[in-house]
Each structure stands twice: as C-alpha cells, then as structure tokens.
Amino acid sequence: MSVKSWLLTVFRELFLYHYKSLEFRAEVFALIIAPGCKNAKDCSFKILKEVAAEIYKNDRHRQDVFLNITRGYAAMILRNEPASYDEAIKDINRKVRANKSFAMKINMNHINRFLRDDISEDKRFLQQRIAEFLEDQSKEASCPINIVKSESL
C-alpha cells in the first residue's frame, strides 16, 4: 500500500471526502464478510477488491482505504464474536435511522456476491440473516416517510 493510502487511513476524517459514507459501507461489507471467515487472516478479500473497484471506479486511493477499513471492521467482529455482530447491526441500524441516505449505499447485488455455500450451516444461516437485515434497511429507507392518510378526503 502506498504512503498516501496509509495516511488517508490514519487521518481519514481530516483528508477523505465523505469518509462517513465510506466507513458505513466498510461496516456493512465487514458484517456480511465476517461469517464466512474463521479468523481475520483467513478472510478472502478478492470479491471485496472487485466491489471496491466498481464503487470507486477512478479512485485507487479511496479503494485502498475502503479495503483497509473493511479489514479492520471484519477483524473486530471476528475478535468479539458473537457480541460484535449485534453491535455492528445496531450501529448500522442507528446510522440508517439518523441518515436515510446511508441506506442507498446498501447495494444488494454487491452484498449477495459474498453469500457462501462452502461454510458451516450456522455461519451460512447467520450470513443469510445479515443479508436479509441489510435488505430490510435498504427497503425501509426507500419507502416514503410519514405518509398520513386523511379520513376527511
């Protein structure tokens, strides 16, 4: 990784445009990736690299920062398993409720690429439930808010 990418990772709040959006995406992907890993070193980030290239097409530094942040979140989830899954889900839910535009960052086509069949049944079920949660979050934010039916009409 280049020095610039490392600096962006360390000082992302100062130097990175829309870092909260990037960090949110990283947390979402870490949540779906973690069940398919035995430990942080075991995780394969090949698909994530492809997704990062699709999301941040012409910005290699942003891709590198995204990958590093996602790796960090995945390692954190795997260290504190299962409590970290709950914490990450609550955090994502809180962020989507606070900022509905974050839900638009959840792309189910990207998420579904991480669903694996070659893992234990428990992990596969966990991964499927996480995918359902993320899909609900993206749908919830796309629904009109505060629609009130008027009985007087």
List per-residue pLDDT tens for the chain, 153 residues long. Answer: 557 555 555 665 545 556 788 889 999 999 999 998 877 676 778 899 999 999 999 888 889 889 988 998 898 898 887 778 999 999 999 999 998 889 999 999 999 999 988 889 999 999 999 999 999 998 876 655 444 333 344
Q: Give the count of alpha carbons within 13 A of 145, CB side only.
A: 7
In the chain, domain spans: 3-138
Q: The tokens of 47 are what?
A: 């698909």
Q: Give the count of alpha carbons within 13 A of 72, CB side only.
A: 12
Report residue 81: phi and psi, to 5°: -50, 140
Calpha distance 73→32 (Å, rounded): 11
